[in-house]
Amino acid sequence: MTPIYPGSVNAAGQQATLGVLGGGQLGRMFVHAAQRLGYFTAVLEPDAQSPAGLVSHHHIQTGYDDPAGLAQLAQLCQAITTEFENVPAQALQTLAQTRPVAPGGAVVGIAQNRIEEKAHFAACADVSGVTCAPYAVLETPAQVRAVQDERAELLPGILKTARLGYDGKGQVRVRTAADLAAAWAELGGVACVLEKMLPLTAECSVLVARGWDGQVVSFAPQRNVHVNGILAVTHAYEGNMPPALATRAREAAVAIAQHLGYVGVLCVEFFVVDDGTEHGGLVVNEMAPRPHNSGHYTIDACDASQFDLQVHAMAGLPLPQPRQHSAAIMLNLLGDVWFDASGQLREPDWHSVLSLPGTHLHLYGKVQARAGRKMGHLTITGPDVVRVKAVAHRAADLLGLPGLDAI
């Protein structure tokens, strides 16, 4: 990989341009990071009002698998990435025929399919030191019926569709074999995995960036709290997890990225389970081949954000080891914040929130608020955890956010 330096111009007079498939908020924050360094940007996204498309130099308004659109993106850009894992892996492979693409289509394809993802986790368990929850692949009625006779220890469990599940979508909790059969039918009889329900004590995630040359840097683990399957609060400060557990999670995430030969920013999510030990055990849950919601605090609390590292990795630039300079708590802002208790649209009390010390508001440019839709996030930073927690609790109260007891 020959580095693509910001502000450079090729022989044809073309400005150094980085491209992204997808126009959501992750694409928007990637575009901002790339432009701040001096790159031009191009977004391929069908939505004319997409958050990333509205702020990019170029917006190719077409489907992710449109050959003409992909050709135009490749013509404009010197390197290309993706902002979410559900773009067609084949589109990334097509682009990779003429341009550096990070992450590659094969790796994104693994993350798109829980069956392949879990097989990868199992294959690298010896080097990562962690494995996933006990599970069974369910693709046929016979496999569903066999759970009761052959894998009854998996119940109670969580049935998850192999594809297109995120933020709690495509997931059903089941307690009995009858529940399982009904849930599988409800999900349309598609390929699924059944995971054993574990006694969770916490959830955490680790962000890793790996370059074309194999260089790896990472952030310290962040502890996450979910409400209704959607991330609500991220705790990012020293002491948010027992040190030995945090070190193990960080080493496991790096090992998973190395095993994949990954290039770009990867988020690996873990469960902390009650295994009878003082601090609990670590189980890998899933991975996201991109920057992640739980890492948004890095924009305000670190000297290099996850999006800065995404730009560096895909462009072949050196990867600086990020340093966190402030304790941080991130609050996810869903569309529910824009509605009062009676369901009437209202403007959140930004005046009071932004009067609080250390608050950093990030709204994603989405025109219409809807319940459950990610509209933005609020990061609170400060010199110590006590003050950050106090401000975060007050901000969450002002905005009517759930999960106050988790701050």
DSSP for 129-157, written as a single string? S-----EEEE-SHHHHHHHHHH-GGG-SE
Q: Backbone dihedral region of 239: left (phi > 0), alpha (psi from -120 to 50 degrees) or beta?
A: left
User: Do residues 312 and 223 share a domain?
Assistant: yes
Q: What is the CATH number of the domain that holds 140?
A: 3.30.1490.20
Which DSSP string do the residues of 65-80 spell out, in sequence order?
T-HHHHHHHHHH-SEE
Q: Which residue has the higher pLDDT, 114 or 12?
A: 114
203 annotated as belonging to a binding site for a ligand: yes
User: Do residues 242 and 363 share a domain?
Assistant: yes
Domain boundary among 59, 80, 101: 101
206 in a structural domain = yes
197 annotated as belonging to a binding site for a ligand: yes
Extract the tokens encoding 75: 């013509």
User: Could you tell me which residues come within 8 angstroms of residue 157 by beta carbon, excluding any fewer than 6 positions away?
Assistant: 173, 174, 180, 194, 195, 196, 197
Gap between the terminal Cα atoms of the chain: 43
372 annotated as belonging to a binding site for a ligand: no
166 annotated as belonging to a binding site for a ligand: yes
User: Do residues 204 and 191 share a domain?
Assistant: no
Q: What is the CATH number of the domain that holds 74?
A: 3.40.50.20
User: Do residues 176 and 325 share a domain?
Assistant: no
Tell me whether strands 216-218 and 200-210 are parallel, antiparallel or unpaired: antiparallel
pLDDT at 167: 60
114 in a structural domain = no
User: Do residues 252 and 165 share a domain?
Assistant: no
User: Do residues 288 and 261 share a domain?
Assistant: yes
Residue 48, phi then psi, degrees to nearest 5: -65, -25
User: Do residues 69 and 139 share a domain?
Assistant: no
Domain count, the chain: 3
Q: Give me the chain's average pLDDT, please.
A: 94
Question: For 342-372, what is each residue's pLDDT tens digit?
Answer: 999 999 999 999 999 999 999 999 989 999 9
pLDDT at 149: 84
168 annotated as belonging to a binding site for a ligand: yes
Q: Which residue has the higher pLDDT, 307 or 168?
A: 307
Q: Which of 375, 371, 367 is nearest to 47 (CA)?
A: 367
User: Do residues 361 and 254 share a domain?
Assistant: yes
Please report which confidence band the pLDDT of residue 275 belongs to, taking 50, 70 and 90 as the band edges: confident
Please check whether residue 289 is in contact with residue 266, taking contact to mean a CB–CB distance below 8 angstroms.
yes
Cα distance between residue 266 and residue 219, in whole Å:
11
171 annotated as belonging to a binding site for a ligand: yes
188 annotated as belonging to a binding site for a ligand: no
Cα distance between residue 299 and residue 396, in whole Å:
20
Residue 360, phi then psi, degrees to nearest 5: -130, 110
Domain boundary among 146, 167, 196: 196
12 in a structural domain = no
Question: For 179-220, what is each residue's pLDDT tens digit?
Answer: 999 999 999 999 999 999 999 999 999 999 999 999 999 999
198 annotated as belonging to a binding site for a ligand: yes
What pTM, to 2 d.p., does this model score? 0.95
pLDDT above 90 for 302? yes
70 annotated as belonging to a binding site for a ligand: no
379 in a structural domain = yes
User: Do residues 251 and 322 share a domain?
Assistant: yes
User: Do residues 228 and 184 share a domain?
Assistant: no
Q: Beta strands of 140-221 (E only): which ranges? A: 157-161, 171-174, 192-196, 200-210, 216-218
196 annotated as belonging to a binding site for a ligand: yes
170 annotated as belonging to a binding site for a ligand: yes
User: Do residues 79 and 31 share a domain?
Assistant: yes
354 in a structural domain = yes
User: Do residues 213 and 357 share a domain?
Assistant: yes
- The boundaries of the domain holding residue 141 are 134-196
226 annotated as belonging to a binding site for a ligand: yes
